[in-house]
Chains A and B, each alone.
Chain A
Amino acid sequence: MTTFRLALVGAPNSGKSTLFNGLTGGRAKVANYAGVTVERRSGHFLTPAGRDVELIDLPGIYGLSARSLDERIAVDVISGTAGTDAKPDALLVLMDAADLRTHLHLALQLKSLGRPMLLVLNMIDLASRDGVEIDVRRLENLLGFPVVTACATRKAGRAALLERLDALIGAPVPTAASGDATSLAALQRSARAMAREVIVREPPMNTVTRAIDGVALHPWSGPLLLAAILFLVFQAVFSWAELPMTWIENGFATLGHAVATHVPEGWLRNLLVDGIIAGIGSVIVFLPQIVILFAFILALEASGYMARAAFLMDEMMLRVGLNGRAFIPLLSSFACAIPGMMSTRTIENENDRLTTILVAPLMTCSARLPVYTLIIAAFIPPNAVGPFNLQGLVMFGLYLAGVVSAVAMAFLLKRTLTRGRPQPLLMEMPTYKLPDARDFAINLWLRATSFVIRAGRFIFFVSIILWFLAAFPSDANGIRETWAGMMGSWLEPLLRPIGFNLEIAIALVPGFAAREVAVGALGTVYAIHGDDTTGLAKALQGAWSLPTALAFLAWYVYAPQCMATLAVARREMNSWRWTAFMFIYLFALAYVAAGLTYWTAVWLGL
């Protein structure tokens, strides 16, 4: 028996991903749609009758006039024009049961495509709790296709859906609609007429949501609450991640030692220990911070708050020339620019999306932290400045420099290269709800593994290449005589005017793989063995002046020192030219910022 292909269709926040995870257990196969870089998530499950169903999770749509890249894909798959991705056999249409009146026209619009379909009135538990009553039988009769109520998070809530699905699979394919192009206004009129007949009881909007929004959307308390939430998130990212990060570092160190004792001395041992294990370890060590940040982002999304954050940020984003929706990718970029860039796909306007991708690397990602921490510990005294600590203030200043630069850059770009009318904002703010634990865990797992695979695969190869550069020619006496050392000495004259010495130039070469690798590279250049960061801090104190150290920090705020980000940027922008532009502008900023910092510090006599 062949697989039955079922596409999941519905508005954003109608609970598609939750239903997908519930039905498939989160076991998804992720591939790209033919010709575009949008991910196509699909999974399998068995119906009660034992039929194998392939469920395709589509991006959310409000209607068939697609706007963003995500929406265009969804519409192409539904209407069967998505090229090699075969037409789905049926549509599973999800709708928030709490407001049938506002959403029902989507079902009529989809019906006109003449595909077999099943309408699911989702989150029926929340709607019933509010006091909403719907005559489902009557709705089914009026629509002419099966309708079930469901609660996607619960197994019992999905049982009726599965039963009706078996009936749908066996049913004959309906004949396509007569082809008269009904206007959206007319569809809405019939949908509203239907809604009037089937909605038995419809109390006013959820009172809890109204009460929370009285604070959360208020022009004064709203931004304060958002700031408090963001503060909590960053506090958690830094303090909770510390312990697991130490475990991971130790784990990889132990693994390296174990391999070193079992593999004979020689290039293979060096490649395994210094190249591959150290390279992968340098990525995995950030996983705790990234997982914590993702966990908060997922919880904010699932609870319904994220759309409010976008609402609150919209005015500020609009002044820059962007849209409130750009806030979410930029927030993700504090963990890592890669997932940030990937989440720009929900932005409709191509120019806005491009601008967001271009400035995402300016957000201080977690890979810059080890560099910042090392240099600050070595050069900035922990003096008290009022109630604050000078080291903490410098760290905050570096984060702030990134954010301010991103805003300024986006402002400039939107008025020059990516000019265009500001994209309209039209976005539902869903009813608040408690995130479902199982669904949350599945989504967190999916995001974390996708980060590890995406970044890890790339870092794996780059770390081999860089290890090669730093280990050969094999008769080299110290790192200065290796290829990396030679490349460093070519760079050195270029970097001398901004206060960098030969050692920094050499460390920057492997630092291109990933920013944090520069810390290890500095250790190698200054011949510090193992993970002795206090020893390295001491060595740096003796070798660098304070202006040089500050210039190095300024450099790291901007420099595009991460090949994985550039690779993902190229894929997301689908353009070598824009990638080259991003690389050059970030370098130019890094060079100017480091130079300005160095000469100002020298002038101040620091």
Chain B
Amino acid sequence: MKLHELKARQRARIRSIAAGSEQMDVKLREVGFSEGDEVEMVGAGPLGGRTLAVRLNRTLIALRTSEAELVEVELA
């Protein structure tokens, strides 16, 4: 499943990142997303929630569903 499909407080491990988009691959990796890392959906922002708060290891990251879609995860 994709990162944005996680429900609030669901945890998962990252399987792959941005297959097919080299530019987004670099951006996501630089912020710290990497295969095998633990992620947790903290919640969606107000008004329809296209902005997500995700915990990556011990760091909290804000990103949009359009970016989160590029991160393939499996439930922990």
Contacts and interface: CB of A to CB of B under 8 A. Distances in A.
B61 to A, nearest CB: 6
A314 B60 contact: no
A318 B51 contact: yes
Given A204-B58, A311-B62, A428 B31 contact: yes
B57 A99 contact: yes
B63 to A, nearest CB: 5
B51 A311 contact: yes
Contacts of A192: 34, 36-37
B60 A209 contact: yes
A63 interface: yes
Interface string A65-103: 101000000000000000000000000000010110111
Nearest to B28: A426
Interface in B27-76: 27-32, 34-37, 42-51, 53, 55-64, 66-67
Contacts of B46: 219-220, 222-223, 312, 315
Nearest to A314: B51
Given A184-B26, A425-B67, A315 B60 contact: no
Contacts of B59: 96, 99, 102-103, 205, 428
Contacts of A424: 24, 27, 63-64, 66-67
Interface in A361-419: none
Contact of B63 (A98, A219, A425): A425
A492 interface: no
Contacts of A218: 43
B interface, over-half SS: mixed
A378 to B, nearest CB: 40
B62 A314 contact: yes
3 nearest interchain CB pairs?
A: A63-B30, A102-B32, A62-B30
A431 B27 CA distance: 22
B14 to A, nearest CB: 11
11 contacts: A103-B59, A184-B29, A185-B25, A209-B60, A217-B53, A314-B50, A314-B64, A319-B47, A428-B62, A429-B61, A429-B62
A interface, over-half SS: helix
Contacts of A206: 58
Interface string A97-132: 011011101100000000000000000000000001
A312 B36 CA distance: 29
Contacts of A431: 60
A428 B66 contact: no
A524 interface: no
B33 to A, nearest CB: 9
Interface string A554-580: 000000000000000000000000000
A307 interface: yes
A205 B55 contact: yes
Contacts of B37: 101-102, 192
Given A62-B30, A65-B30, A429 B60 contact: yes
B40 to A, nearest CB: 9
Contact of B47 (A213, A316, A426, A429): A316
Contacts of B24: 424
Given A425-B63, A426-B63, A102 B53 contact: no
Contact of B60 (A62, A213, A312): A213
A65 B27 contact: yes
Contact of A102 (B57, B62, B67): B57
Contacts of B50: 314-315, 318
B64 A217 contact: no
Nearest to A431: B60
Interface in A210-265: 213, 217-220, 222-223
Nearest to A185: B29
Nearest to A61: B30
Nearest to A311: B62
Contacts of A132: 58
B26 to A, nearest CB: 5
Contacts of B34: 105, 185, 188-189, 192
Given A188-B29, A192-B36, A429 B53 contact: yes
A15 interface: no
B67 to A, nearest CB: 5
Nearest to A224: B46
B29, B34, B43, B46: which has the most chain A beta carbons within 10 Å?
B46
A472 to B, nearest CB: 57
A427 interface: yes
Contacts of B26: 63, 65, 184
Contacts of A65: 26-27, 30
A62, A105, A204, A311: which has the most chain B beta carbons within 10 Å?
A311
B51 A324 contact: yes
Interface string B4-29: 00000000000001000000111111
A62, A202, A204, A426: which has the most chain B beta carbons within 10 Å?
A426
Given A105-B29, A105-B34, A209-B60, 7 more contacts: A62-B30, A98-B58, A101-B58, A184-B29, A311-B51, A314-B62, A427-B62
Nearest to B34: A188
Contacts of B51: 311, 314-315, 318, 324, 425
Contact of B64 (A98, A319, A425): A425
A507 interface: no
Contacts of A425: 51, 62-64, 67
A210 B21 CA distance: 32
A315 B30 contact: no
